[in-house]
Amino acid sequence: MRIAKRRRQPGKRDVHPTYLLHSGTARLRRVPATTQPVTACLLSWKRPHNIPRIVGHLRTFPFIDDILIWNNDPTATFSLDDKNTRVIPSVENMMVYGRYLCTAHARHPIIFAQDDDWLVPHIAQLHELFMADPTRIACLLHPDHIKKHREQQYGVAQMVLMGWGAFFRCDWVSVLDRYVAAYGKDPLFLRETDRLFSILLHRAHQSLIAMPEALPGTTAPEAMYHQPEHWHMRQEAIRRALGILGVEYDPADHPLIPA
């Protein structure tokens, strides 16, 4: 595969690099991928039937040799017969925050994260993209979200979604302490941790455009984006995170775009 940078629009600064995949040979590698082992942190809730297939897919990448599954559903118990895969049961549903609690058990400083309702393509290329610039999140971007992605830039800070697959450093999780100091671990924190995390890093991130494969449960009624409070919680998370950074936020400049 070859990774090509998207052409930027004339007159616009390229503050959040976005890449397209083309056939050919990738040329972004600056550090051999095999020298940087990765811990995969998976969230499981209501879809444990998808986990074996996701884990099987992740096992095909030699740089991922530590797979953690944070089980957010205390009513569901499961295990996998693999010395490099561990299931961490949670006594309650910690929602999205479980992704970040999971990193405390990681063997490696580099984390790959994804949700339990997608099969992530091009993980090797995404890893390569991160290793080329390991100072910011490298995430997969669903083609339907390209416009939304552009609208989620707030000055230097940028909000990205992690569920389609993302690489980041474990030690970055400490930025969430700034939110906890201001608001505590409230329901918004548990639910909107991805948005808070990416914005509080206070930098632009990088993305690779590719279509993930939807697994059973992607559009189930319990999905967070179906919940009536979703859009309000989303906007409030953005407002609070930017407020912590001291960045002015005017919703009129950033219309409500489903994401």
Domain presence at residue 166? yes
- The 10s digit of each residue's pLDDT in 72-128 is 999 988 888 888 999 999 999 999 999 999 999 999 999 999 999 999 999 999 999
Q: How confident is the model at residue 232 (pLDDT cuts 50, 70, 90)?
A: confident
- Establish if 120 belongs to a structural domain: yes
CATH number at residue 152: 3.90.550.10
- 7-11, 67-71, 115-119, 227-231: least confidently modelled range: 7-11
pLDDT at residue number 25 = 30
Instruction: Give the residue from 199, 188, 201 showing the smallest Cα distance to 234.
Output: 188
Please report the pLDDT score of residue 27 as a whole number: 40
Q: Which domain holds residue 170?
A: 34-253
136-191: pLDDT as tens digits: 999 999 998 887 777 788 989 999 999 999 999 999 999 999 999 999 999 999 99
Q: Is the pLDDT of residue 24 over 60?
A: no
Give a yes or no: residue 246 inside a domain. yes
Residue 17: inside a domain: no
pLDDT in tens, 37-62: 999 999 998 899 999 999 999 999 99
Whole-model pTM above 0.75? yes
Helix (H) or strand (E) holding 129: helix 123-132
The amino acid that residue 205 corresponds to is H
How many separate domains does the chain show? 1
pLDDT of res. 7? 45
Q: Nearest Cα to 224, choosing from 186, 195, 184, 183?
A: 195
> Is 111 within the bounds of a domain?
yes
Per-residue pLDDT, 230: 62
- Is 8 contained in some domain? no
Residue 61 lies in a domain: yes
Residue with the bigger pLDDT between 54 and 22: it is 54
C-alpha to C-alpha distances, 158 to 64, 102, 131, 247, nearest whole angstrom: 27, 23, 19, 12
Domain membership flag for residue 198: yes
Annotate 60-117 with DSSP letters as a single string. T-TTEEEEEEEE--TT-----S-TTEEEEE-SS--TTHHHHHHGGG-SSSEEEEE-TT
- pLDDT exceeds 90 at position 10: no
User: What confidence tier does 244 reach under pLDDT thresholds 50, 70, 90?
Assistant: very high
Enumerate the β-bridge partners of residue 85. Answer: 67
Residue 212: pLDDT over 70: yes
